[in-house]
Amino acid sequence: MTGHAAAAAPAAVRRGPRHWWRSYLMMVRWELTNLRLVFILTIAVQILTGAGFAVGIGLFIDLPPAAALYLATGVATMTLMIVGMVLGPQLVAQQKAEDTYDFLWSLPVPRFVAAAAWFTITVFFALPGMVAALLVAGWRFDLSFDISLSVVPAVFLTTFAATLIGYALAHAIPEPQITAAISQVLIFAIMGFSPINFPPDRLPGWLASLHEWLPFQAMADIMRDSLATGFVADPGHAYRVVLLWSAAAVALTAWVLGRRK
């Protein structure tokens, strides 16, 4: 009787802060192990991208100090954005193409713990490129940055929003080829058609107005406001835009992951 009762007893439900923390550490180790062959290479690419872009523009154009400072803060923002919006979706698309995606989501961990673990890995990837961009640009153009304490929430929000936007798109789009194509388009949109490394008044009026509500300029504005003074007239608006896009990305991610069995 006792044996039958024990056999019929339901399995203990794993929940609570301790389970979340252990699941988070497990997923971080999983991501690091899964990316062990490209981890150092990706960080090196980020460093070279940030440093090379900051120096490369100066080889084509003789930049005055104000323009060089604008460029340096923009490149620092760009290194944070590219990892979350481009690298993340490409890796998810690769998981789907290699049929490891379903296995990942069969692991006994809360769904948002996996998202938190990937955000942690994104920070590891992105920060060295941001720091390298600022250091090299400061050396190359003899710049002095006015770094405030707001750089901490600015870096966090920029990386968080970029990661969650890329994460939501990657999981919402079923076809990995489409995900990969969209991530490539985002590279051109970020580098060439977003007022990150140049002022928005360089764009056509309709595109400049559109960027007031897209996340790209807003991310650059909150980062620029934390690294230099005199460039951003309304940082509060930029923070609101980034927060709205972050909330929308969280909602989309929750909806997509909630539909998975």
Calpha distance 42→59 (Å, rounded)? 25
Average pLDDT, stretch 205-231? 93
Contact partners, residue 177, CB within 8 Å, separation at least 6: 93
Question: Does the pLDDT of residue 123 top 70, yes or no?
Answer: yes
Residue in 81, 73, 78 with CA at minimum distance from that of residue 229: 73
Query: Cα–Cα distance between 194 and 28 in angstroms, integer?
Result: 32
Confidence of residue 260 (pLDDT cuts 50, 70, 90): low
Which pLDDT tens digit goes with each residue over 58-86? 777 778 888 889 989 999 999 899 888 88
Buried b (16+ CB within 10 A) or exposed e, 175-187: ebeebbebbeebe
Return the H-helix or E-strand segment holding 63.
none
The per-residue pLDDT for 253 is: 81
- Diameter of the chain by CA atoms? 86
H or E, element range at 184: helix 176-192
Integer distance in angstroms from the first to the last C-alpha of the chain?
35
The C-alpha atoms of residue 180 and residue 177 are separated, in whole angstroms, by: 5
In the predicted structure, residue 17 carries a pLDDT above the cut 90: no
What is d(CA 49, CA 192) in angstroms, rounded to the nearest whole number?
15
SS3 48: helix
Closest by CA to 87, choosing from 39, 143, 128, is 39
- What tokens appear for 101 in the block? 């995606």
Pull the structure tokens for residue 152.
Answer: 């901490």
